[in-house]
């Protein structure tokens, strides 16, 4: 019956966690003609959506209103409605704890919520990024507590999210989707479901392979970013511009892919996934020296940025203690309003501890509220104007949003520490620009 419902688009779809992954996915599923209900514990999110308001900057209100008007989309905090769903997709966070070990609380809590309402003929799909084995070792174990048999009574699959917020070239629909079940029947149903809503699927034999593929994607990025971050430091000592070097190297039509240095890693995947794999590898007695070294390099970049700032403040006769410093861009990525794992927060925290007077500006983030990692941090975005910029001893560009007035910034600032090569075109102001 479930297969018939999926193929006829009569299946009701529940998406748990309607943030940067779950909301675009919900819209895409709804666009395909399925009835979709977004589940979230955040009442503010569900209320906004049901009013036709978006909280993700690159998803306009009109898109939400359109989906509501079709009657194919709604949002709720009532998890008892999971009983009515035929397919349940889990899109909850998988952060690290204070020891840099996997924090599966949100996955476990969600699996328990589903377990308490699980019925026969439901398909559950985990999309959260995690270590190989999570779907069958953690989620399946919890769902099996119902006495229902996976593959006969209910079905379980893994399909890692591949969202790239604000990417104009690729959408949820067009990004190829890895799909695998914990058993053959589950995999078949999941593949049928995603084949209807997405442009292309990439089937794998089992969930562990799919989980490992997602980890590989992000470990690959983390290691290559660590490489160019280390080269940036080396080349800087040699008086060589890393950005020009990368630009030249990427002209090679084969055997090279460009990665770029920065102030550290941010986002919900790349800074986290290497630690997930390293933690799991330890259970098998396998060292992950290469991966751990990359993590160390990337996590050291905020200190490098601060050292460069301090060094160049000294040239202007200033100490970092008591200096007025403006951090521009606190989002982890340009043109989004997401601060998860943002290196900007680390930089701000370290500057405050060095007794600098710190401000920030970000057109997408009006306020930085306390987080688990930075419980004391509470700041509001400062308005950029000539007088304010002129009063700063240093400006650090952490996130190079497209809609910033770079001309105003470079003209009115005394010292610019550029971590993104955002001011490469302003040759006349090189005397006050430090690439870091």
Residue ranges of the alpha helices (H) in 198-334? 207-237, 242-249, 273-283, 289-315
Pairing assessment for the beta strands 367-368 and 379-380 based on DSSP bridges: antiparallel
The catalytic position among 12, 91, 150, 269 is 269
Concatenated DSSP letters of 149-200: PBTTTBEEEE------TT-SS--TTTS-EEEEESSHHHHHHHHHHHHHHSS-
Cα 57 to Cα 336: distance, rounded to the nearest angstrom:
7
Read off φ and ψ for residue 75, nearest 5 degrees.
Answer: -130, 150
Tell me whether residue 330 is exposed, middle or buried, using C-beta atoms within 10 angstroms of its C-beta: 0 to 12, 13 to 18, 19 or more: buried
Cα 22 to Cα 15: distance, rounded to the nearest angstrom:
6
User: Is residue 73 helix, strand or coil?
Assistant: strand
User: Is residue 258 helix, strand or coil?
Assistant: coil
Look up 269 and say whether it is catalytic. Answer: yes
Q: Among 84, 85, 79, 88, which residue's Cα sits nearest to residue 156?
A: 88
| 229 within 8 A of 44, measured Cβ to Cβ | no
Residues taking part in catalysis: 269
């Amino acid at each position: 019956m479930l297969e018939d419902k999926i193929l006829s688009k009569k299946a009701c779809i529940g998406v748990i966690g309607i943030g940067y992954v779950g909301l675009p996915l919900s819209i895409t599923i709804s666009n395909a003609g399925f009835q979709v209900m977004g589940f979230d514990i955040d009442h503010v999110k569900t209320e906004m959506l049901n009013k036709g308001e978006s909280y993700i900057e690159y998803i306009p209100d009109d898109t939400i209103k359109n989906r509501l008007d079709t009657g194919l989309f709604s949002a709720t905090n009532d998890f008892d409605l999971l009983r009515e769903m035929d397919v349940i997709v889990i899109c909850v966070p998988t952060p690290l704890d204070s020891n840099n070990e996997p924090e599966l609380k949100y996955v476990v809590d969600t699996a328990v919520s589903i377990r308490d309402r699980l019925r026969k003929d439901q398909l559950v799909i985990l999309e959260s990024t995690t270590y190989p084995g999570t779907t069958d070792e953690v989620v399946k174990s919890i769902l099996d507590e119902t006495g229902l048999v996976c593959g006969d009574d209910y079905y379980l699959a893994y399909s890692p999210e591949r969202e790239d917020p604000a990417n104009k070239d690729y959408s949820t629909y067009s990004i190829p989707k890895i799909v695998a079940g914990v058993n053959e029947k589950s995999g078949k149903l999941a593949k049928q479901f995603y084949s209807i809503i997405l442009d292309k699927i990439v089937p794998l034999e089992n969930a562990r392979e799919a989980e490992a593929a997602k980890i590989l994607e992000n470990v690959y990025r983390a290691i290559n970013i660590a490489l160019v971050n280390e080269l940036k430091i080396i080349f800087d000592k040699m008086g060589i511009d890393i950005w020009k070097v990368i630009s030249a190297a990427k002209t090679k039509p084969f055997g090279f892919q460009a990665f770029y240095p920065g102030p550290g890693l941010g986002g919900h995947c790349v800074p986290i996934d290497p630690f997930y794999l390293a933690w799991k590898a330890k259970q098998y007695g396998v060292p992950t020296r290469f991966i751990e070294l990359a993590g160390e390099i990337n996590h050291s970049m905020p200190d490098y940025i601060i050292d460069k700032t301090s060094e160049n403040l000294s040239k202007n006769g200033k100490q970092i203690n008591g200096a007025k410093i403006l951090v521009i861009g606190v989002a982890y990525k340009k043109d989004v309003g997401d601060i998860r794992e943002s290196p900007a927060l680390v930089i701000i925290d370290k500057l405050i501890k060095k007794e600098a007077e710190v401000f920030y500006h970000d057109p997408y983030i009006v306020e930085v509220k306390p987080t688990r990692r930075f419980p004391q941090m509470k700041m509001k975005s400062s308005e950029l104007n000539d007088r304010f910029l002129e009063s700063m001893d240093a400006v650090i560009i952490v996130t190079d949003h497209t809609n910033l007035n770079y001309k105003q910034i470079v003209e009115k600032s005394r010292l610019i520490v550029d971590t993104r090569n955002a001011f490469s075109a302003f040759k006349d102001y090189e005397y006050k620009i430090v690439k870091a």
